[in-house]
Structure 1
Amino acid sequence: MSEAPTAAQLATAGWFRSSYSAVNNECVEVAYTAPLVRIRDSKSLPQGSLAIGTSAFHLFVSSVKNSPYIRPQ
């Protein structure tokens, strides 16, 4: 079992946003911190991040991309 990353490590984890994100910084940010993917709200950085497994994250993204309920803008 690996140790949880420190706040300093998470701050420099290489967070990125979708190209569809609004310019007003209201979006979800993602960082790969193997073996987990971290997800956070750009408006609430002090609240921390959610950590999920890489395979679960890829399944989630694939499901969203293939959803009939998501319409391209």
Structure 2
Amino acid sequence: MNTLPPGLQVVTVDWQKSSYSGANSNCVETARFDGGIGVRDSKDAAGPVLSFGTRAWDDFIGGAKASV
């Protein structure tokens, strides 16, 4: 996990919520930016953002898909 790249403004990123997110609002949102992926709580858009490198995120997604 990394911090956001210097100068990245979270408000300029296009956040997306999973299509599997129902009406329960217990969701996370993700956004791609140069060099990584941001993840935040959909209920707290102004809250903290976790940042992962592209390779780490791709490995995570690959592992999640493989375990289904």
Q: Normalization by structure 1: what TM-score? A: 0.74
Q: Structure 1: how far apart are the matches of 2:14 and 2:47?
A: 18
Segments of 5+ residues of structure 2 without an aligned counterpart are none
Q: How many residues align?
A: 64
Q: CA RMSD in A?
A: 1.6
Deviations 1:7-64 (A, max 9, x none): xxx1231110111011243201000011111000112223220001011001101111
Q: Normalization by structure 2: what TM-score? A: 0.79
Q: Which has the higher contact order (CA 8 A, sep 6+)?
A: 2
Over the matched positions of the two proteins, sequence identity in percent amounts to: 34
**Equivalent AA in structure 2 for residue 27 of structure 1:** C
Segments of 5+ residues of structure 1 without an aligned counterpart are none
Aligned residue number for residue 22 of structure 1? 22
